[in-house]
Structure 1
């Protein structure tokens, strides 16, 4: 989950610097990273729960 956020952070900072847009891509890609991380953790929990039931 942390890796997804950091990837979004670094890519967002790079795009903002390259395109001259202040916090636009940084904010968008950090939010994408957060939601992606939450989804990854959720899917991992579901997978572990199914494994425990069998």
Structure 2
């Protein structure tokens, strides 16, 4: 097993944080550290993935 550590320094104006993605590549499940922030909240994150959100 590989031990990798990721640190989150600090969020400034972000209201929603995407810290990791879990995905499947072939028969293997993988975890990828992302560390992306969104100022406009969860709705902004959902829209970036193609989800229609009513305000």
- TM interval, shorter chain, is under 0.3
- Structure with the largest fraction of helix: 1
Normalised by the length of structure 2, the TM-score is 0.21
TM-score of the pair, normalised by structure 1:
0.21
Which structure has the bigger radius of gyration? 1
Higher strand share: 2
Higher relative contact order (CA 8 A, sep 6+): 1
